Structure 1
Amino acid sequence: METTKCFYIQRMDRFVHPDLKDVSLAAALHALADPVRLDIVAKLVECPCLNSTASCPTGTPKSTLSNHFNVLRAAGLIETNAEGRERINRLRRTDFDTRFPGLLDSILANRR
Structure 2
Amino acid sequence: MSGEPPRDPGAQPERTWLAWRRTTLTCAVSVALTVRVALADPSGPAVAAACLGALAWVGLLVTAHRRIRALARSRPRTMGAAQTLGALACVLVLVGVGGMMLL
Q: Does TM, normalized by the shorter one, top 0.5?
A: no
The structure that is helix-richer by fraction is 2
The structure that is strand-richer by fraction is 1
Tell me the TM-score normalised to structure 2 length. Answer: 0.26
Tell me the TM-score normalised to structure 1 length. Answer: 0.24
